[in-house]
Amino acid sequence: MLVNNTINNTCPIRQKIREFYRIGESEAIDHILPEAEVNMAARSRAWERARTMVLQIRRDQEGHGGIDALLNEFSLSTAEGIVLMCLAEALLRVPDKHTQEELIRDKLSKGEWTPHLGNSDSLFVNASAWGLLLTGNMVNYADKRKSEQFGLLKKTMGRLGEPVIRKAMKIAMKVMGRQFVMGERIEDAVERAAKKETQGYVYSYDMLGEGARTGKDAERYYQAYVKAIEVIGKAAKGRGPRKSPGISVKLSAIHPRYDFAKYDRVMEEIPAKLKTLCLMAKKYDIGLTVDAEESERLDISLDIIEKVFSDPDLEGWHGFGLAVQSYQKRAIFVIEWLRELTLKVGRKMMVRLVKGAYWDTEIKHSQQGGFDDFPVFTRKTSTDVSYHACANRMLAYRDSIYPQFATHNAYTASVIIELAGGDKEGFEFQCLHGMGDSLYDQVVTKDKIQCRVYAPVGVHEELLAYLVRRLLENGANSSFVNAIVDDSLQVESLLEDPVERTQRLQVRENKQIVMPVDLYAPSRANARGFDIYDLNATLDLSLRLEKWFEEHVKALGDVDEAENQIIVRNPALLSEIVGTHQLHGKADMLAMLERTTKASESWSKEPVEDRADLLMRIAGILERHMDELIGLCIKEAGKITSDSIDEVREAVDFCRYYAVEAKRLDPSNRLQSRGVVLCISPWNFPLAIFMGQIAAALVTGNTVIAKPAEQTSLIAKRALELMISVGLPEDTVNIVIANGPDVGDVLLPDERIQCVMFTGSTQTGSLISQILAARGTEQVPLIAETGGQNCMIVDSTALPEQVVDDVIMSGFLSAGQRCSALRVLFVQEDIADVVSEMIVGAMKELSLGDPAFLSTDIGPVIDKKALKALNDHAEYMQENGKLLHKCELPASDGNFFAPHFFEIDNIDVLKKEVFGPCVHLVRFKGKEIDKVIQQINGTGFGLTMGIHSRIEERAIELAHLSRAGNVYINRNMIGAIVGVQPFGGRGLSGTGPKAGGPNYLPRLMKERATPKVASQVENYADDKAIQSDATAVTEANNLMDSALAVENQWRLTPLISRISFVRQLLAKIANVEIVEELAEDLNQTLATARTQLIAIERRLRAPIHLPGPTGESNTLHLEPRGVLVCFADKDVTFEYWMLSIVTALATGNLVISVVSDLFYEEALTFKEKLASTGAPNSVFQVANLCHLEALLMNKGLTGVVVDSRTDRSAYISAKLAERQGAILPVITAEYNDNLIQRLVTEKTISIDTTASGGNTSLMTLVEDDD
């Protein structure tokens, strides 16, 4: 399983490289520190040389200084610096003027640009500041002289307007582009380089562009390399690789699937392409360097390099090169391996030593993955030590390696010059175009050592990702480039020897960077992940999985058909039997319920600390048995390996998260367990959701009957065995294996089931609600997470490459079988052709097949029923849409459905959720983006939504307007993490509260203060007062229409304003006589209401910031449900009725208060007094009892608030269950804070804050010595 043995490598040095992949920082430093030592005399000479260099650099930069001065002026510590990068990254990609203007306004409103004018003598800084000023805030200048100076400019801008502003902004960006890029064409770049080449510089050209997503991309980049080699080769004029310009090649640019998981394909295709490029370089005798990329690609890159470098056709050519990243902990062994390779082949290699360009990405990826450690050093000084150690080795190996030292650090350069002795020809330095000019002018002219300039070539649209990366790296607080232009820093502070500093450190790791396991510390550990790019571990896992499955099949024995037996087959290979189940009958289920009910008596009395400890032990046993659980996910559920790993991790996270939450849930002892909870879990997350439901129910003192999906019950049964092995008491959890309708007939009507947790289809959720309501009791708690018509909105500022990655991941991976998966893709028409073409190209690279192999991208759908539904949809789309592409099906007897990409006119074409790998493209006009969100909300679904936009204000506004429970900005829209992105929807997509969130567990408990036994009514026909005739129906519908007309206005009214309106209402009714007559104690009621408003203001004034990996923002927002009925008859107290109205209005809901005659006059007074405050009309309306039935059936309703004292709550519950559509709550609460929580819904907004090109929070860290 997973891989074949071709990835095994017996070379001892390659094994060391693998062993040091994620080794601890202290251990790595201990290994390389002796290698980095420089004798004291050489160190002293290097220090003095560097000091002289820095002083000269500062003198040279007075009055000019290019990008160095810009970095100093627009420091990353200012809002302007960050905005500059965000704008540069996006602006030149935006094709339409309207969106360009919005982007400029959005970004430039974030900074005060005027103060930067005149602050620098650098023409570049002032040119940029002028460009930014043109669309800035146009503040009033405190300095009168400046005011006069810029008065004409402001008038001109006011007269000419935004088109001129937009043009000026583009010019400013192109100025920056020229600073970093040699030319838009390779011919231009070579011509521009001629002057510097006469001064002792040479060049290495980098063809700009993102990594290839499609075969077409890869071919385009490949041809760009071919052309560049021809042009460079002719310019070289046979001077040889050392003295000639060269080219740098990214393997990710010439192949769309450059990934270890695609090992066999990569090794077949990339070496052949690379060899062809090398033969061309050999023809002209120029250098070709393979650029370093992400750490996960290092191992496979070495296989490629060994294969190509060893090719006898390259004999006699010494221009092959490789970049090595010193920030990787294994860099020293890569140098050793290259040494061995060059000796074995008998040919020299050019080796470029760099610090590394993906540091922030490596940190984030490791934290997200829950890996043991980072592949890179967390301290810059550690990277510098590694650089010095590698440099020492490279200089020692000059007989087979030509060292190329890429650095802008004067001290590092000085140390290397000292280490090289008198040798001026056996190595060279390298610098980035546009940076470090002054430093290397000294090295080239005084020391006569060659410097090669790494020079990007490409059009401005392709420059931007590179531009932002350079700005972030070199503008970082730890960067020598940034520090050198800061006159407030003493020269001596820039010249500290990294070896000396590292030796002085008490702690080698940077404690400001959280280790992956400590991401949620101190409350809990992050679930341990598995890195498939740790090749030794992957090989071991592959062997263990094969052994596990052999033993599993052996234990299963021969399987024959039998009555009431389910045979479980591998959905990817239907001939392969994975296991069997015996179906439970009615008697089995009732006996199980009896035992589970009895067990609840003792389990509910267990201290919460003991229940939480059990969950922690369960988490531990799941982690220890990750191998077989991964195997079951693959074989039983058809999940690919990465999804299977995530499945186990999510189950572990649920256990730990709920254990922690339970211990701080109820300090006042106001809640108690409910009894027996029925947990109905789906097949698409057969372990994670199964365990999440059970863990939540158990830790709150309930016992569980768990009903896993029939398709995936093997993993559920194994999980229960593991739970029992760590101390789960007998009968606290029982598993029922039965068809859904049989469980519905036997267990749901039984009143011993006190709560139901369900994840599945919207239709099944509604059916469960109806069966529960048929009991004739008050509403039984039902926590349902149901379907979604999940959409992504992409405007023209979005980065197409990122959109494509996220569409593929969100819509097609996992075979589209996630509740959160993308179904409808709205793309602004200006970029729709480009985006759709790229998606089609990326789809062509997807591999469908057996999920037991890492090379498989997409596995099967779960069963024949799912397959038929998808095939039926494909047939429906023949008449109702346009097929843009479908993937190739594998030759297999499995349940495979090819991913389909359709285009449709509008979302209404889709009549139901399509649960599989189908994405539907809808185009929209840029000015009509608000209509798009209305269409999405109009579907009634509200599970997940994605937004891709660089206009921050727009993205946030769309997120707040969305009715989805989980909104993802500039990232994929799947893979919610427990406690980080609490998951769940609203409307047709679920009831809430969110799983894996802080408000989930209370719903599994009941309030101790419930005043009486729940009402139960068998026949409502005799209650004529609450029945609606035709007139009442019309009147009720008019009330609802009036409320809906102002719903958005009220929910978007600032919280402080809403509370002010309600406070004014309280003040006005304090003096109304009829209100005082109805209230038992009006002063007490008013005091309670005012206290409630304070509590609402505290709870809703700001979102909850949730923990998570660096480079992400995750916030939990509380939002109004919508239009609520606040019910009051003779059994309801005035205080409860009034408090429900106050709470509902203040939380942003609209209220239709259905009251009996007892409350009617008072209710009208409330309406009149609220209207007199200036609150929008129809925010609060009054209805009679005769309107209740009609309102309960109106599709605009979102819930009913009722006092538990009224006998009519059972009737309300039953009527709501009759409705078509969303499952609505009957809201009652004895504690006021609980009432607040029940009247709001939750929304998680998750933002990839690195989407503009880098992680500013990491880059601005200042290291300390602790």
3-state secondary structure 207-226: ECCCCCCCHHHHHHHHHHHH
Helix runs in 777-926, H state only? 800-807, 829-844, 864-880
Nearest to 452 by CA among 402, 378, 399, 401: 402
Report residue 85 as tokens: 């990068």
Is residue 964 domain-shared with residue 1099, that is, in the same domain?
no
> What is the DSSP pairing of strand 782-785 with strand 753-759?
parallel
Look-up: residue for tokens 């000023």?
A: 133
Domain span at residue 711?
A: 559-785
Residue 78 within a domain: yes
CA dist., res. 920 & res. 807, Å (int) = 11
Is residue 640 domain-shared with residue 714, that is, in the same domain?
yes
Residue 438: the pLDDT is: 83
Residue 324 within a domain: no
Is residue 127 domain-shared with residue 267, that is, in the same domain?
no
Residue 137: the pLDDT is: 28
Query: Which residues partner with 1246 through β-bridges?
Result: 968, 1114
Residue 1177 within a domain: yes
Residue 504 within a domain: no
Catalytic residue (choose from 785, 952, 1162, 1242) = 785
Task: Name the DSSP class of 1133.
Answer: -
Q: What are phi and psi of 679, to 5 degrees?
A: -110, 115
Which one of 964, 980, 996 terminates a domain? 980
Under-50 pLDDT residues of the chain: 63-68, 70-71, 74-83, 85-86, 89, 111-114, 117-118, 120-162, 164-165, 168, 477, 1014
Contacts of 500 (CB under 8 A, 6+ apart): none
Helices (H) and strands (E) in the chain, counts: 47, 32
Where does 760-800 show beta strands of DSSP type E? 782-785, 791-794
* Contact status, residue 652 vs residue 527, Cβ threshold 8 Å: yes
Helix (H, G, I), strand (E, B) or coil at 1019: coil
Residue 612: the pLDDT is: 98
Run of H or E residues at 827: strand 824-828
Q: How far from 71 is each of 228, 381, 406, 906, CA to CA, in Å?
A: 31, 22, 20, 47
User: Which amino acid, one-letter code, is at 200?
Assistant: G
CA dist., res. 1126 & res. 1200, Å (int) = 6
> What angle is formed at CA 939 by the lines to CA 834 and CA 991, rounded to 5 degrees?
120
Helix (H, G, I), strand (E, B) or coil at 924: strand
Is omega for the bond preceding 522 within 30 degrees of 0, making it cis?
A: yes
Residue 394 within a domain: no
Could you confirm whether 1162 is annotated as catalytic? Answer: no
Residue 585: the pLDDT is: 96
Nearest to 569 by CA among 716, 710, 717, 735: 710
* Contact status, residue 443 vs residue 65, Cβ threshold 8 Å: no
Q: Hey, how many other C-beta atoms are within 10 angstroms of the C-beta on 750?
A: 15
CATH code, domain carrying 811: 3.40.309.10
* Long-range contacts of 1140-1143, Cβ-Cβ distance < 8 Å, separation of 24 or more: 1140/1201, 1140/1203, 1140/1235, 1141/1166, 1141/1180, 1142/1062, 1142/1065, 1142/1066, 1142/1089, 1142/1092, 1142/1093, 1143/1092, 1143/1096, 1143/1232, 1143/1235, 1143/1236, 1143/1239
Residue 991 within a domain: no
Q: Residue 187 CA to chain centroid, in angstroms?
A: 41
**Which strands sit side by side in the sheet containing 733-735, from one edge to the other?**
733-735, 703-707, 676-680, 753-759, 782-785
Q: What is the CA radius of gyration of the chain?
A: 33
CA dist., res. 927 & res. 996, Å (int) = 37
Is residue 1091 domain-shared with residue 1145, that is, in the same domain?
yes
CA dist., res. 269 & res. 845, Å (int) = 13
CATH code, domain carrying 1230: 3.40.605.10
CA dist., res. 504 & res. 485, Å (int) = 27
Is residue 965 domain-shared with residue 1035, that is, in the same domain?
no
Which one of 178, 193, 224 terminates a domain? 178
Look-up: residue for tokens 């089609």?
A: 840
Query: Rounded to the nearest 10 degrees, how much is the dihedral formed by the CA atoms of 1144, 1148, 1154, 1155?
Result: 50
CA dist., res. 641 & res. 632, Å (int) = 11
Could you confirm whether 819 is annotated as catalytic? Answer: yes
Is residue 818 domain-shared with residue 774, that is, in the same domain?
no
Is residue 893 domain-shared with residue 823, that is, in the same domain?
yes
Which one of 764, 785, 806 terminates a domain? 785
Q: What are phi and psi of 227, to 5 degrees?
A: -65, -40
Give the pLDDT confidence of 529-568 residue by residue, as tens digits.
Answer: 999 999 999 999 999 999 999 999 999 999 988 888 999 9
> What is the DSSP pairing of strand 428-432 with strand 1123-1128?
unpaired
Helix (H, G, I), strand (E, B) or coil at 607: coil
Contacts of 346 (CB under 8 A, 6+ apart): none
**By CB neighbour count within 10 A (0-12 exposed, 13-18 middle, 19+ buried), where does 1098 fall?**
exposed
Is residue 864 domain-shared with residue 800, that is, in the same domain?
yes
Catalytic residue (choose from 755, 819, 1126, 1186) = 819
Report residue 155 as tokens: 């008038």
Task: Name the DSSP class of 1079.
Answer: -
Contacts of 481 (CB under 8 A, 6+ apart): 68, 71, 408, 435, 436, 474, 475
Task: Name the DSSP class of 811.
Answer: I
Nearest to 945 by CA among 1235, 957, 544: 957
Query: Which residues partner with 703 through β-bridges?
Result: 676
Is residue 975 domain-shared with residue 1087, that is, in the same domain?
no
* Contact status, residue 136 vs residue 104, Cβ threshold 8 Å: no
Residue 295 within a domain: yes
CA dist., res. 516 & res. 537, Å (int) = 18
Is residue 781 domain-shared with residue 796, that is, in the same domain?
no
Residue 1137 within a domain: yes
Count of positions (residues) in the chain = 1266
User: Which amino acid, one-letter code, is at 283?
Assistant: K
User: Which amino acid, one-letter code, is at 711?
Assistant: Q
Q: Give the number of C-alpha atoms closer than 13 A to the C-alpha of residue 1011, restricted to the C-beta side.
A: 12
Is residue 578 domain-shared with residue 686, that is, in the same domain?
yes
Residue 67: the pLDDT is: 46
Residue 1075: the pLDDT is: 79
Is residue 781 domain-shared with residue 800, that is, in the same domain?
no
Where does 529-675 show beta strands of DSSP type E? 565-570, 573-582, 671-673
For the chain, how many structural domains are there in total? Answer: 5
Q: How far from 318 is each of 417, 554, 594, CA to CA, in Å?
A: 23, 57, 80
Rounded to two decimals, the pTM is 0.93
Nearest to 509 by CA among 1142, 1005, 25: 25
